[in-house]
């Protein structure tokens, strides 16, 4: 399964500035693991104790994965994953 992953500005230092990368996997968790093998450290910025970090939003196509299956959401060939840090504060 090959998916396209859109990387936000703040994580582009991990991808040498590249905005859209390809990744393999049949679930979001597998996709993140695959990303981390090539862009070491990016996984930790997305995942904490096996779950997506609270202030990182990940979308599968048009849907926030929190409303799907979270980090276990299945992905299919040709899907698009978008990562966006929350815009939040106090």
Partner 1 sequence: MLRIGQDLLDAVVAHARADHPDEACGVIAGAEGSDEPSRFVPMINAARSPTFYEFDSRDLLALYRDMDARGEEPIVIYHSHTATQAYPSRTDVAYASEPQAHYLLVSTRESGREPGPAEIRSYRIVEGAVVEEEVQIVASPGR
Binding track, positions 8-37, relative to partner 1; x by CB under 8 A:
xxx---------------------------
Q: How far apart are CA 27 and CA 19, in angstroms?
A: 21
Residue indicated by tokens 């299919």 = 76
Which residue in the set 27, 59, 74, 79 belongs to the binding site for partner 1 (CB under 8 A)?
Answer: 59
Cβ proximity to partner 1, 16 vs 87, nearer residue = 87
* CA distances to 12, 32, 62, 85 from 9, in Å: 5, 17, 20, 9
Which residues are near partner 1 by CB under 8 A? 8-10, 55, 57, 59, 62, 64, 66, 82, 84-90
């Amino acid at each position: 399964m090959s998916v396209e992953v859109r990387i936000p500005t703040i994580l582009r230092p991990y991808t040498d500035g590249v905005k859209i990368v390809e990744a393999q996997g049949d679930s979001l968790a597998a996709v993140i693991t695959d990303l981390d093998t090539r862009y070491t450290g990016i996984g930790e910025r997305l995942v904490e104790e096996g779950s997506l970090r609270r202030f990182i939003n990940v979308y599968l196509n048009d849907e926030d994965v929190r409303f799907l299956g979270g980090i276990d959401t299945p992905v299919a060939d040709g899907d698009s994953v978008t990562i966006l840090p929350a815009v939040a504060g106090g």
